[in-house]
Amino acid sequence: MTSEKTAAKTAANGTESAAALPLRERKKLRTRQALIDTALELFDAHGFDGVTLDRLCEAVEVSKRTFFRTFTSKEDVAMAPTQDLWAAFLEVLESHPAEGRRLVTVLEESLAGAIGRMPADGWADRVLASRRLAARTPSMDAHGLAFCDRTTRAAVSAINRRFSLAPPAGPADPASSARPGTAELRTRLAVDMSVAAFHQALDGWVAQPSGHTREDLVRRLRTACAELPGALATTVGPHDRSGG
């Protein structure tokens, strides 16, 4: 139980809170970070498939068994930076002022807040390396999408729990138990929209040649979210009508 809590904490906060942890936990986090950094380095140099786990473990001086106690798969270690962001997103979403505001706005703010929570030192570079690697490694991409999807579902249930847009368990209306309900459906769609906007923001951020700061990522996120209504209204013209 204790390890769970501390793990979640350090995943979001990064380096600073590590000093207060017991030695055993600190060591674990140190090897974890060493594995992440070395993995991104090696993968970047020789490609994801060009590096075996034996090689990586040898470089970090850790047994393969230990690797699999820290990460669930080879893809997992390379996706750690992004996963930290998703974890932070869920945390922020839990405690965020929301009443009376649009759901997509709350999600946008939560995503922006999660980005702001990421460690200022090196996180941006790690995500950049991770995403560029994922772009040319199908299995990594798939792994990342799956994790994102799980986060999405968690976000939907968190929203429904906190804001009670849809009844959680025993509803008074018998019709809402038969089908998912309009509120539930709208929640899922709103979350998926926001996630889509975030993905476009991230893709653009990764594609740009320089200036990879958290602030710039947030800016791109806001731009993408602002385009959602326009995207829904865009019509197809005969030639090059960009819509409006």
Partner DNA sequence: TAGGCTTATGCCACTCAGTGGCAGAATCTT
Partner DNA sequence: AAGATTCTGCCACTGAGTGGCATAAGCCTA
In 3-state terms, what secondary structure has residue 237?
coil
In angstroms, give the least distance from the CB of 139 to a copy of itself. Answer: 8
Q: Is 122 left (phi over 0), alpha (psi -120 to 50) or beta?
A: left
Interface of this chain with DNA, residues 47 to 106, rule: CB under 7 A = 51-54, 61-66, 68-70, 72-75
Residue 238 has φ and ψ, to the nearest 5°, of: -65, -35
CA distances, 161 to each of 93, 109, 155, 171 (Å): 11, 19, 10, 13
Instruction: Provide the CA 25 distance to its chain's centre, in angstroms.
Output: 24
Q: Does 3 bind DNA (CB under 7 A)?
A: yes
Residue pair 12/54 in contact by the 8 Å Cβ criterion: no
Identify which of 139, 30, 9, 7 has the alpha carbon closest to the alpha carbon of residue 79. 139
28 binds, among a copy of itself, DNA, none (CB under 5 to 8 A by kind): DNA
Identify which of 150, 147, 177 has the alpha carbon closest to the alpha carbon of residue 82. 147
Chain residues that interact with a copy of itself, rule: CB under 8 A: 98-104, 106, 138, 141-143, 145-146, 149, 163-167, 179-180, 182-183, 185-190, 192-193, 196-197, 199-200, 204, 207, 223-224, 227-243
| Closer Cβ to a copy of itself, 123 or 147, answer by number | 147
DSSP 122: T
Q: Does 17 bind DNA (CB under 7 A)?
A: no
Residue 96 has φ and ψ, to the nearest 5°, of: -145, 135
In angstroms, give the least distance from the CB of 144 to a copy of itself. Answer: 9
| Closer Cβ to DNA, 23 or 175, answer by number | 23
CA distance 195 to 162: 19
| Closer Cβ to a copy of itself, 18 or 228, answer by number | 228
| Closer Cβ to DNA, 46 or 153, answer by number | 46
52 binds, among a copy of itself, DNA, none (CB under 5 to 8 A by kind): DNA
Interface of this chain with DNA, residues 19 to 58, rule: CB under 7 A = 22-25, 27-28, 31, 51-54
Q: Does 7 bind DNA (CB under 7 A)?
A: no
**What's at 140, amino acid-wise?**
M
H or E element that contains 89: helix 80-94
| Closer Cβ to DNA, 27 or 101, answer by number | 27
Which residues of the shown chain bind DNA in the complex (CB under 7 A)? 3, 22-25, 27-28, 31, 51-54, 61-66, 68-70, 72-75
